[in-house]
Amino acid sequence: MLNTKSYDKIDTILSSYQSDPRYLIAIMQDVQKEYRYLPQDALDYLADQLAISVAKVYGVATFYENFSLEAKGKYVIRVCDGTACHVRKSQGILKTLQEELSLTDKTATTPDMLFTVETVACLGACGLAPVCTVNDDVYPAMTPESTRDLIRRLKEENTDEA
């Protein structure tokens, strides 16, 4: 359930687009950037404020792969499993991430909401394979050892911020 402050943030996003439903995708991208996913309450609120159906809003949210209806961690780690990365053992990177973070194929986000691990078909960085990203940062030529170091650094960074 979103609180009043959350609705104020959504109202700010809406006003930056003059609450014009033609900008639904951009509005949803900004909402997702704010919350790291699209909360159900936010989608319902958007439909109401933009005077469009909830079905239309959910249709957009489920059509585009970039949108998520599930909460994600602070650090979203995407492991490329395209041909070049797969051949260069990206599965070892994924396995290391799952082991280090106690995740499985069915559980992609840590209970503390710090990490989410996903695989993607291609990150478009084949010459840097195997590759992963953390949010928008690219990490090339990954190994299980460099993956462990990355997780350690991110945990330390998060501790320093707290």
Claim to verify: residue 50 and residue 93 sit in the same structural domain = no
DSSP string for 23-82: GHHHHHHHHHHHHSS--HHHHHHHHHHHT--HHHHHHHHHHSTT--SS---SEEEEEE-S
CA atoms within 13 A on the CB side of 118: 19
Domain of residue 10: give its range: 4-63
Residues 79 and 157 in one domain: yes
Same domain, 59 and 81: no
Residue 12 lies in a domain: yes
Q: How far apart are CA 112 and CA 75, in angstroms?
A: 11
Give the end of a domain, one of 36, 63, 90.
Answer: 63
Is the domain of 30 the same as that of 101?
no
Residue 95 belongs to domain with CATH number: 3.40.30.10
Number of domains into which the chain is organized: 2
Sign of CA dihedral 93, 119, 114, 137: positive
Q: Is residue 70 part of a domain?
A: no
Average pLDDT over residues 12-31: 97
Tens digit of each residue's pLDDT (9 = 90 or more) over 72-126: 999 999 999 999 999 999 999 999 999 999 999 899 999 999 999 999 999 999 9
- Over the stretch 50-76, which tens digit does the pLDDT of each residue have? 999 999 999 999 999 889 999 999 999
DSSP category for residue 109: B
**Residue whose tokens read 């919350």:** 35
Domain match, 93 and 146 both: yes
Residues 128-143: tens digit of each pLDDT: 999 999 998 999 999 9
pLDDT at 162: 61
Q: Are residues 11 and 18 in contact, defined by beta-carbon separation less than 8 angstroms?
A: no
| 153 and 89 belong to one structural domain | yes
Task: Flag whether 16 is in a domain.
Answer: yes
